[in-house]
Structure 1
Amino acid sequence: MRSLLIIPVLILSVGCKPAPKINQYKAEPEAVAPTANAPAVASTSTPAPAPPMVAPESMKAEAASFSEPKWGTLPAGWSVGPENAMRKATFVIAGKDGTKAEVAVTVFPGSVGGLSANVNRWRGQIGLSPASEEEINTLAQPTKVGPDAGQRFILVSLDGKKSTDAAMIPKNGATWFFKLSGDAAIVQANNAAFNQFLATSQIP
């Protein structure tokens, strides 16, 4: 009987122990590192205009050794621009409200980097992204300066404010460039005049 009394006492002593205290912690979420396959956010900004081409002195000297072209009749509204060591000629076309465009005529030995390099340089100068070789070939239009055949490219900036109309003519181991560029409205308005100027000029 005595042993039976001990068991309830033991049970009572165990049951009266305080409940264990449970500490709670707030776990901060871990930062998830970006994976290599996460898509990049595409930039919608317009590329900054590329700087004009800067030729080395040796190329300038060789370009200067080429004979002068025979110019066609200067279209109405065109005037002879200032001399430039890099150019055979500069013609200025003034527009309204101070806008203008110009025709720059240059010649360099060889292909000057090739078709794609030259066209993409012009694209960069008016804030356009580089084009693929296939796209450039699609943009090319046949043209002539006098009897000499070449290719012509008409480019317009994304905002429609700037334009370049350029002809490339390979001849006698050199490449001639006739580039009409500037205010888009002036460039477009002088399309026919530029055609006539190219057709009536002759390169040596």
Structure 2
Amino acid sequence: MLIKLIFSILILVFLQSCGQDNHIRTYQLAKTKAPVNKPRVETPEKKSTGFSWTKPGSWIASSGSSMRLASFDVPFSGGMGDLSVIQLGGTGGSIEANVNRWRRQLNLDSQSLFEIEKEMIDYKGGLGDYKIIRIINEELDSAFLCAILPAGNQTLFVKLSADPKGIREIETDFISFCSSLIISI
């Protein structure tokens, strides 16, 4: 009985909503003012996590996963790269484990720590000494440029994903970005 009553009410509401007038209705809405474009000034960015950095002017902040401290779309002549900054406690795992995880993401075989360390390049930046490694799979036309930056009792991982040509093109800006990372108070 209750079901019939509900069904009858629904049919009445449906029929009532159908009008007999067959004319087109138009509405006018007030225009909103477009925001004024201010010139982009590249200043060091300070995050609530206690780190700050200076990004190259062409990099565009983007939304990433909740694990990311920062994300950027990085344009290059052949497309757009994706840069992520991730912060992990302690060492964030061994160099060998992290590099081999990145290698597997590019369908490359694992390497020994000795082989990995031969390919790593040492740099010095605002956080102190850090390492960068290029991981390239020419067959997949995919590559990573990765930095491992110890920062006290934590480690920052900066990873740029692009094609091999893009990695080579963006490398100088990547190094400048990594070197600019500092702990901010």
TM-score, length of structure 1 as denominator length: 0.61
User: Which residue is equivalent to 2:26?
Assistant: none
Q: Percent identity?
A: 26
In the alignment, residue 61 of structure 2 is paired with which amino acid?
V
- Unpaired runs of 5+ residues, structure 1, are 1-65
- The structure 2 residue matched to 1:105, chosen from 85, 89, 96, is 85
1:89 aligns with 2:81: no
Q: How far 1:93 moved relative to its partner?
A: 1.5
Q: Which structure would you say has the larger Rg?
A: 1
- The structure 2 residue matched to 1:189, chosen from 169, 174, 184, is 169
In the alignment, residue 135 of structure 1 is paired with which amino acid?
E
- The structure 2 residue matched to 1:115, chosen from 88, 91, 95, is 95
Within 5 A, what are the aligned runs for 1:25-40?
Answer: none
1:129 aligns with 2:87: no
Kindly indicate whether the alpha-carbon contact (under 8 Å) linking 2:126 and 2:180 is maintained by their aligned counterparts in 1.
yes
Kindly indicate whether the alpha-carbon contact (under 8 Å) linking 1:146 and 1:201 is maintained by their aligned counterparts in 2.
yes
**Whole-Å separation in 1 of the counterparts to 2:161 and 2:183:** 20
User: Which residue is equivalent to 2:57?
Assistant: 76
Instruction: Deviation per CA, 1:148-200: give whole Å up to 9, x if none.
Output: 11111111114161111111111222111111112222221111111221222
- The structure 1 residue matched to 2:155, chosen from 165, 175, 179, is 175
**Whole-Å separation in 2 of the counterparts to 1:135 and 1:109:** 26
**Whole-Å separation in 2 of the counterparts to 1:155 and 1:94:** 19
User: Which residue is equivalent to 1:58?
Assistant: none
Runs of 4+, deviation exceeding 3 Å:
94-97
Kindly indicate whether the alpha-carbon contact (under 8 Å) linking 1:160 and 1:184 is maintained by their aligned counterparts in 2.
no
Q: How far 1:147 moved relative to its partner?
A: 4.2
TM-score, length of structure 2 as denominator length: 0.67
Within 5 A, what are the aligned runs for 1:47-58?
Answer: none
**Whole-Å separation in 2 of the counterparts to 1:128 and 1:79:** 29
**Whole-Å separation in 1 of the counterparts to 2:50 and 2:69:** 7
- How many residue pairs are counted as aligned between the two chains? 137
In the alignment, residue 195 of structure 1 is paired with which amino acid?
I
- Unpaired runs of 5+ residues, structure 2, are 1-47
